[in-house]
Structure 1
Amino acid sequence: MTTFGASTATLPVVAPSTTIPLRWITQTWAGVVFFIAFTAPGWAAAFGAPAAAGTGVVAALGTAALALRTIRSPQWRSLPWSALAFAGWAGASLAWSRWPETTVLTWTLLAATALVAIGMAAMLSWRQLVSALAWALAAVMALSLAFEAWAAAIVGGPVGIEFAPVDAGTDRSDIWTSAQLFSGGRLDGIVGNANLLAMLALLAVVVLSIRLAIEPRRRALAAAALALSAYLLVRTESATAFVATVALAVALVILLAARLARTTRGRVRVYLAAAVVGAVAAGVAWRMRHTLLGFLGRDGDLTDRTEIWDLVVSRGAAQPVVGNGFATPWIPWDPAFSDWIVMPRGLHIIQAHSVWVDVWFQLGAVGVVLLAGMYALFVWRTWVFAVRQHRWERRDDRVTATVSLLPVAVGVIVVIQGLTESSPLLLWGWMLTVLFLAKLQPRYAARHSDTAKGGKVGYGLGLDQPPLV
């Protein structure tokens, strides 16, 4: 008997008597976990860091309980070893860390998020994954709009951290939202940061578009959530999100052209043409960088980022090979970071605003190489996976071709965001990276032996597998 989602080659395969309730529980719980990951900064802003940590513990424990119930024979060779190698080096940095307490706390977050992601990759079919992400992102968008409306209409002004009153002397770091929904300014949303909300809104546009394409049920609700996501994407006025949107559009055009080519020689022509056009466009963009930055409402130092990078590089030069110790984010109450970089209006910086600068500062050249290798493998696997899904003869093929765009889109979003933010190493950015690395990891061990026995097997998704329905 074939269970729902078995044709995706993602696991688990469960006994028929428990398939339906377990499938529903797993998908629902996944939506909750994604929602927690997306809104973690909001939990910290509303109730403090302990509350945010508590929600993370609940997410990890719940996922572990479900994984133990569902996964019986994990294929250890199919683990996302590139991500685990990076996480392992980050953990090893405790041996020479200049801030050991911060390293322990932040590495625990990194490792726990990776384990949750691996569990999600094992338990969810592709349809379930899209549905869980769509539900969670729609909830984040709706809650962000409601929060901004409450702040602007009811409070009538900015809202402070833990709902504290805001006055002229309040530091920018202590303001949750500036309440500019009706005044035309940037929106911070429930996450308390316009740039973070922008990337979530862009991800929501992608996921909800795919959800609309593959799922006939509740399309009106999904369409409304999609429109809201697009609205919030515009209202955040994020330059990084704008660049990511353009890059995503270009990547999808190249991907679709590669699919149409069908042959290796045809795809090579597509990639060569894209490389030439891309090189010319990059040159023009560099020559016109000041004009483009002005159009995006940014100055030449990328909103103080170049100053931050200079300070981080200067401090990190003491340990350029192995780094100074993992610390993502920089814990604000650690004396090593509490008063290190403070921008105008009391904005305390807790990251280098570039994943590459931050990793070099924390884990040295070794960490940069490991991270680059992980992202290169991630981009390669997601791209090859999407290009191969070009059949349109059957309905299942159409679903496959549509859903296979999701990992590519996530890769573009995470890589672009990492240029000016360190967020890809935190929460949902890190979670989705590890999740797709695990889900697209080729399988090695016996593929059918456990299934034939009606048992549960390890996770992993080979590129030669059937449609993703």
Structure 2
Amino acid sequence: MTVFGAPTTTLPVVAPSTTISLRRAPHVWAGVVFFIAFTAPGWAAAFGAPAAAAAGIVACAGVAILALRVIRAPQWRALPWTALVFTGWAGASIAWSRWPETTALTWALLAATTLVGIALAAMLTWRQLVSALAWALATVMAFSVAFEAWAALIVGGPVGIEFAAVDTHTERSDIWTSAQLFTGGRLDGIVGNANLLAMLALLAVVVVSIRLAIERHQRGIFIAVLAVSAYLLVRTESATAFIATIALAIALVILLAARMARTAAGRMRVYLAAAVVGAVAAGLAWVMRRGILSFLGRDGDLTDRTEIWDLVFSRGAAQPVVGNGFATPWIPWDPAFSDWIVMPRGLHIIQAHSVWVDVWFQLGVVGVVVLAALYALFVWRTWVFAVRHHRWQRRDDRVTATVSLLPVAVGVIVVIQGITESSPLLLWGWMLTVLFLAKLQPRDRARRTESLKDGKVGYGLGLDQPPFV
């Protein structure tokens, strides 16, 4: 073929690209990472600990590859130094640990989770973060209901770990779900634990509500997810989740009141009133604690937790300052923990059922002080961040004001859960804590760079687009 006498060649027909662009890849992969973190106990229950570890390695490897491609100019000032100090102290405990192999293994998990949280904070905008969390939690809720329905309708009874049959001699630790979807009992879901499922359901209610408030598309799907999440929250019958829900509601009321007070003096009056009311409520709760625990279906020892704490305190007294060595969770096949605390029906305990007791036991008073500083800084930054973003005039303002509630909600959930569970030191609890600490860390003005030469899109440890795009 020629054009004005000049020979030309026919251009080949190229199909449209179906690959995910580099700009969207962190958002998509973040959803996968969150799903793996949320469901890690389920991976272990279904296929064993090696499969759960393999899934975690894949998740971390994907984040590392994306971080190398995307993050061009790290802002070291934006690193969450309190989280890094805690992680460093946990790693240092290998030197004096009474169970060095467990310390090395569990510290590797802690360090990997910390780095993943920092990387995701650097790569995701707030909208992308909410979207990734919403889709991951929606999948967890859907899988949990489907799993419980399969156990109840197809299996017709409890399901053991790695799909083993369950009989009267099966230990509680070896049961994945009790299959009580239609019998009125507690639901364990895909994660195999009612208390863990309850906190995930509460987090899903928060995240999906925020997603519905800021996005107009696919609202039908997320309205259904919100309803399922609320249903699972009720069916787990978790006292910790119930208290966390009340605490979250109170925190949001105080926060909204502080937003309405436009002056520092007005906010101070709000905080003083909240402190007085809170002190009175705490006193009444203490006086009526037995009745409250009875209402929640719990006894005075918090479902054997006080017995567990006594045993941990007794064993940890040997090294109260620096601790006995990091071990979160307690590895069940380590002789130091395998037959240490076994509750009725063969329930092997793999945590102290309190973040603070566990940290004191493992990292001593030093670890407790560092973690307390971390949580204090987390609460302060998330609260200030949410109070300052109170405008509601324009669409962008409404998005900002709504999304800024998410770190506060996560902080309440993690802190309340940490009173009776050690889970906030693991997986999604620790990952989200580090992520929001990094996201809200003071930073230099973010600058975005693009290199046409190597095709990389550069991000600093912060946001390169406006905060809520």
TM-score category (smaller protein): over 0.9
State whether structure 2 residue 137 is matched by structure 1 residue 119: no
Which residue is 1:13 aligned to? none
Distance 1:100 1:242 in 2: 37
Name the SS for the 2:24 alignment partner.
Answer: helix
Greater shift, 23-32 or 43-52, is seen at 23-32
Which residue is 1:412 aligned to? 412
Which residue is 1:88 aligned to? 88
Distance 2:46 2:24 in 1: 30
- What amino acid sits opposite 2:436 in the alignment? F
- What amino acid sits opposite 1:381 in the alignment? R
Which residue is 2:5 aligned to? none
Number of matched residues? 450
CA contact (8 A) 2:70 2:457 kept: no
Distance 1:296 1:127 in 2: 37
Distance 2:185 2:201 in 1: 17
Which residue is 2:282 aligned to? 282
Which residue is 2:433 aligned to? 433
Matches within 5 A, 1:152-301: 152-301=152-301
Name the SS for the 1:176 alignment partner.
Answer: strand
Q: Deviations over 1:104-162 (max 9, x none)?
A: 10000000011111111011110000000000000000000000000011101000010
Distance 2:88 2:467 in 1: 34
- What amino acid sits opposite 1:142 in the alignment? A
In structure 2, list runs of 5 or more residues that go unmatched. 1-18
Distance 2:249 2:105 in 1: 37
- What amino acid sits opposite 1:117 in the alignment? G
Which residue is 1:7 aligned to? none
Matches within 5 A, 1:45-84: 45-84=45-84
TM-score with structure 2 setting the length: 0.94
CA contact (8 A) 1:177 1:189 kept: yes
Q: Deviations over 1:9-47 (max 9, x none)?
A: xxxxxxxxxx98223222111100000000000000000
Displacement of 1:447: 3.9
Q: 1:447 to 1:142 in 2, by over 3 A?
A: closer
Name the SS for the 2:302 alignment partner.
Answer: coil
Which residue is 1:459 aligned to? 461
Distance 1:449 1:468 in 2: 16
Name the SS for the 1:23 alignment partner.
Answer: coil
Which residue is 1:5 aligned to? none
In structure 1, list runs of 5 or more residues that go unmatched. 1-18
CA contact (8 A) 1:355 1:422 kept: yes
State whether structure 2 residue 290 is matched by structure 1 residue 323: no
Percent identity over the alignment is 81
State whether structure 2 residue 303 is matched by structure 1 residue 303: yes
Distance 2:79 2:166 in 1: 48
Distance 1:331 1:383 in 2: 36
CA contact (8 A) 1:71 1:122 kept: yes
CA contact (8 A) 2:414 2:429 kept: yes
- What amino acid sits opposite 1:237 in the alignment? E
Q: Deviations over 1:359-383 (max 9, x none)?
A: 0000000000000000000000000
Q: Could you list the runs of 4 or more consecutive aligned residues of structure 1 that deviate by over 3 angstroms after TM superposition?
A: 446-455
Q: 1:208 to 1:236 in 2, by over 3 A?
A: same
Name the SS for the 1:92 alignment partner.
Answer: helix
Which residue is 2:357 aligned to? 357
Which residue is 2:103 aligned to? 103
Q: Deviations over 1:312-358 (max 9, x none)?
A: 00000000000000000000000000000000000000000000000
Displacement of 1:457: 3.7
Displacement of 1:77: 1.9
Cα root mean square deviation, aligned: 1.8
Name the SS for the 1:216 alignment partner.
Answer: coil
Displacement of 1:59: 0.3
Q: 1:130 to 1:294 in 2, by over 3 A?
A: same
Name the SS for the 1:256 alignment partner.
Answer: helix
TM-score with structure 1 setting the length: 0.94
Which residue is 2:335 aligned to? 335
Distance 1:302 1:237 in 2: 14
CA contact (8 A) 2:69 2:457 kept: no
Distance 1:232 1:255 in 2: 27
Greater shift, 40-49 or 71-80, is seen at 71-80
Name the SS for the 1:339 alignment partner.
Answer: coil
Distance 2:95 2:364 in 1: 14
Which residue is 1:383 aligned to? 383
